[in-house]
Amino acid sequence: MNEPAGPIGVLAIQGSYHLHLRALERLGVKSREVRKPGDLESLAGLILPGGESTVMSLLAREYGLFEPLRLLALSGLPCFGTCAGSILLGRGQGQPPRLEAAPVELLRNAYGSQIDSFTAELTLEPLERPFHGVFIRAPRIVKLDPPARALGIHGGLPVLVECGNLLLATFHPELTDDLRVHECFVKTCAQGRTS
């Protein structure tokens, strides 16, 4: 696997960021916690973790990160959002304010409350074996506009979407020991920014 040109940042203001950092460490990839705008410099990619999307959006604005995150995502920096992170990268009605970097509409907590969380074996492109997906108060992707495309579907709905430099997952790959989704993102980061 080619090395990214710089560290991969993980938005570390709320949510499961430490699990993404651990996944990157296990892959032998340099990473950096992102808490303030200066932490975004020289990144090869950025992960927006699962957590509470409303709190994450509020803190990103409070720490001066919201607009820089949006500009980086729109400028071609590889970005990977999981669950709440995908909500922030996409579009949707109501709270929270979103980065609207991906032409993907997501509905928050669409599968129900915490007790409605579930797991499922997912067939994801380009993985050869099923991936054990963990869905916790997961969003639903309800609309894709070109050039976004589904890399995985569960129950008739996209669960993993790619749009140029952006990867959005409605599940939590960081909650498993399976590093294949993270590995795919690292490969994207090694290829560099898209135009």
Tens of pLDDT along 20-33?
999 999 999 999 99
Per the residue annotation, which of 20, 163, 174, 182 is the catalytic one?
174
DSSP 161: E
- Is the residue at 33 inside a domain? yes
Q: Is residue 122 part of a domain?
A: yes
Residue 2 domain-assigned?
no
Average pLDDT score over residue span 55-84: 96
CA-wise closest residue to 185 among 123, 174, 71: 174
Q: Is residue 3 part of a domain?
A: no
CATH number at residue 12: 3.40.50.880
Rounded to whole angstroms, how far apart are CA atoms 152 and 168?
A: 11
Residue 130 counted as domain residue: yes
Average pLDDT over residues 163-192: 96
What are phi and psi for residue 5, nearest 5 degrees?
Answer: -70, -20
Residue 41 a catalytic site member: no
Query: What pLDDT shows up at residue 93?
Result: 87
- Mean pLDDT of all residues in 70-94: 95
In the chain, the number of structural domains is 1
Domain span at 141? 8-191
- Is 65 domain-assigned? yes
Name the band, by pLDDT with cuts 50, 70 and 90, for residue 117: confident
How high does pLDDT run on average in the chain? 93
20 catalytic? Reply is: no
DSSP 86: H
Which letter does DSSP use for residue 4 in this model? P
Q: For the packed helices 66-74 and 53-62, what is the interaxial angle rounded to 10 degrees?
A: 100
Residue 17's nearest CA partner among 48, 41, 46, 44 is: 48
**Residue 189 scores a pLDDT above 90:** yes
Task: Please confirm, yes or no, whether 174 is among the known catalytic residues.
Answer: yes
Share of the chain above pLDDT 70, in %: 94
- For 37-66, what is each residue's pLDDT tens digit? 999 999 999 999 999 999 999 999 999 999
Look at residue 72 and tell me if it is in a domain. yes
The token pair that represents 55 in the structure block: 């709190």
On whether residue 61 sits in a domain, the answer given is yes
pLDDT given for residue 114 in this prediction: 63
| Given the residues 79, 83, 163, 189, the one annotated as active site | 83
Instruction: Indicate which residue of 172, 182, 184, 189 is catalytic.
Output: 172
